[in-house]
A and B are shown apart, each in its own frame.
Chain A
Amino acid sequence: MNKDQAWLYALRSEPSPQFKEELRAKLRALEPARSEVRREWPRRALMATAAMVLLALVVSVPGVRAQMAQFLSWFRVVRFVAVPVDASRVARLKAENLEIKTLIGEHVEVVRDPGPAVAVGSLDEAASAANMTLALPQWLPNGTQVLETVVAGEREVRITADGRRLQQVMDALGINDLAVPAGLDGNVVHVKVPPVVTIRYGHGERRSRLVQALSPEVALPGNIDLRALGEIGLRILGLSAEEAKQFAQRIDWHSTLLVPVPPNARSFREVTVGGHEGVLVQHQPRNGSPTYTVIWSTPERVFVLLSTESWDQVLAMADSVR
């Protein structure tokens, strides 16, 4: 809130507990008027949503969030295809000690390790450390302040493909109608991620985090059959043979990565953020405040905004990032 406008908020206050409870009880007593005809989800929204990166879902889910932190830092700037995860498959992989993180981790060589992210004293310092101008929200909820700014340096890794382990995963899940592409073993994917700047905001108990980075460079040998690998990935995540085949045929695997969408994420929708397509994701932890995540990209960088503000506030913040 702008100080010289504080008087304009003089009428605002929270609803009284009595009113809140009485209205809630009244609403609960109403017979739900379930419409027989469900409104068709807008075609364009579904298209874009299905096609968008739902990285946000991953980071918004406790347990997965920490596990995926490293993964996200490498691939945050690449568009993903959202694929809901079949929870039973995750359990089966765990039982076989074949968690995806473990599989990746065994074959990653860190070429350049910047070490832990470093807290800096100011946004200017962050921009200087990351060697880029920072895009910042021009609107924040009243009373919001920057709590911390951290910069992670450039990271460079090489990931070596292991067809044998992939076959183990497929065997464990009973995927026996597909074969690991020949010649996969030993191929190397090279990933270079520019510095990542994270700005933490807060007011009261509400917290927000804006993450931004320039686009990374990813390179891999041209002889890898990405479509075949993609189809296997879709099956591993739980799509049926028919779904996976259909999906795999239509995705440009040269610009797409799959992102597992945990089944307990609450909702998401397509949004426009500063003129760019994005996705707003809601997750409601069992014993905590709901979190909202907006992820969007511009031609030169990708942004992720995580927040415990209400979704319209989060969207307003994201929309004002310049």
Chain B
Amino acid sequence: MIHLTVHRILSQMTFEQALPRRLGRWLAAEPDWDQVYAEQLPRVLNFFRYRIGNTAEAEDLTARTFEKAWRARDQYRRDMAGFATWLMTIARNVALDHLRARRRLEPLEFAAAVVASDRNPEQQAVLQSNAERLGELLATLPSRERELIAMKYGADMTNRAIARATGLSESNVGTILHRAVESLRMNW
């Protein structure tokens, strides 16, 4: 009897040997860009809200990011998770360009747009107040800390994903975020 257990397979095979033509054709199918858009738009927009603050600017920069990505989307037809990372790289660069061009950070004006319309007036007031306060505090953070906060709490990225995107170690990301959150918390 031959007893089978789980093992790695095809370790001796080259790509050409391992990939039948049919599989290659299948790989070339088009991803669902509507779905990509629906999933990534809130992440990118919220990244800019945390990174930049101003809602109108955040929307403008989000649009700029998507336009850049859309023009070059063929490069990322299959590597969907890679596409998300790539999109965030574009967003970070767009933010940096914007911040360089802006001489100083402007007051935050996003609160009204942040508050969801399906909440009652009391909830809206609390949220608006929290958003304004958080926006003010974010503006006091050093650029790198603010960027990581934007990636973590705006774009909802994991520490590992942030580490991959920024080139920092995961533990370093954790440390910086912890320091930044503590700083925000102390002044909250």
Contacts and interface: CB of A to CB of B under 8 A. Distances in A.
B82 A11 contact: no
Given A10-B130, A310-B39, A50 B78 contact: no
Interface in A262-290: 263, 266-267, 269, 271, 277, 280, 282, 284, 290
A169 to B, nearest CB: 19
Contact of B18 (A20, A250, A310): A250
A292 to B, nearest CB: 9
Interface string B23-43: 100110101100101010110
Given A252-B9, A254-B2, A312-B157, A30 B49 contact: no
B163 interface: no
Contacts of A269: 78-82
Contact of B158 (A10, A220, A319): A319
Interface stretch (B58-66, B90-98, B99-107): B58-66
B116 A84 contact: no
Nearest to B184: A8
A139 to B, nearest CB: 7
A11 B74 contact: no
Interface in B63-83: 63, 66-67, 70-75, 78-82
A30 B6 contact: no
Interface string B134-176: 1100100000000001000110111011000000000000000
Given A19-B59, A255-B7, A315-B81, A13 B66 contact: no
A182 interface: no
B120 interface: no
Contacts of A77: 6
A11 B15 contact: no
Given A15-B42, A269-B82, A215 B6 contact: yes
A220 B181 CA distance: 58
A47 B75 contact: no
A43 B19 CA distance: 10
Contacts of B1: 219-222
A223 to B, nearest CB: 10
Nearest to B28: A38
Interface in A227-265: 238-240, 243, 246-247, 250-252, 254-256, 261, 263
17 contacts: A10-B133, A13-B114, A16-B113, A23-B41, A23-B62, A32-B73, A46-B19, A51-B10, A82-B23, A84-B23, A238-B22, A240-B21, A251-B9, A267-B29, A269-B80, A312-B84, A316-B161
Interface of A: 5, 7-16, 19-20, 23-24, 26-27, 30, 32-35, 38-39, 41, 43, 45-47, 50-51, 77-79, 81-84, 86, 139, 141, 215, 217-222, 238-240, 243, 246-247, 250-252, 254-256, 261, 263, 266-267, 269, 271, 277, 280, 282, 284, 290, 297, 299, 302, 310-313, 315-316, 319-320
Interface of B: 1-15, 17-23, 26-27, 29, 31-32, 35, 37, 39, 41-42, 45-46, 49-50, 59, 62-63, 66-67, 70-75, 78-82, 84, 110, 113-116, 127, 130-131, 133-135, 138, 149, 153-154, 156-158, 160-161, 181, 184, 188
